[in-house]
Structure 1
């Protein structure tokens, strides 16, 4: 399966925009596998450096009751150029994703409670999450995390060694 649509400047991107490896993750902030994989991504970024461009797309699953609000919260924080700090905070505090915690995290990142609550009601942030989710469905996502490496669905093991072995020939 191919990534649909391809990465654009509307995506959340970390790393070198001209990197030879483009890694897209569809993730859910309440998914325990995504939380484990968060640390694999950090190590991939560390080892691959400027050879890696990492993109995160939201794919909140219905089985996780706090995942949708967590995803919307990251989109709200993106308005303040704080998507990645919020993304990291949510994975590092995955057991604490209730709305009150989301407000606290936003405040820690410099967005006051009133502003966060006002922004959270703005439908455009939920629409962005929905757009990510729909792109995941079109791309063949059937669980989280799901990875696409250079626009192709990665079907291998989700260990650091397996992903590095897959990527090295692409460098």
Structure 2
């Protein structure tokens, strides 16, 4: 009988430990909202990736090198992104880099300025310096690029889906 009550005590201990961990995690996100920046906005419904890729004029993978406040839009940011790979919009991207006087040679590192970080209309809209992601972009006036939709993490599945949708 003593072994039976001990087993019940162990199960209750595990249950309370799991509850404690869940409450702790939720408190971290509540107290420190920046830790939840990669989660979707509450109530945000994203269109399927394939549809968002059709709507984007440029799709790249890249690494965020610098983030600066957007002087024209409060709460939003502009990011300097080093292009790693172009999935869609090579010509558009080439014309943007040529207009800025940046060489389009494959041996040169391509840097583009991306607006729209922090846009509340985009579900996953924030990135940190050194984040490498898939960016779905559109051109806006004056040869600038802006986020078209959520920033996608680089995973084998997302890379495959991006390549398939673009081809």
TM-score range, shorter chain: under 0.3
What is the TM-score with the length of structure 1 in the denominator? 0.23
Structure ID, larger Rg: 2
What is the TM-score with the length of structure 2 in the denominator? 0.23
Higher relative contact order (CA 8 A, sep 6+): 1
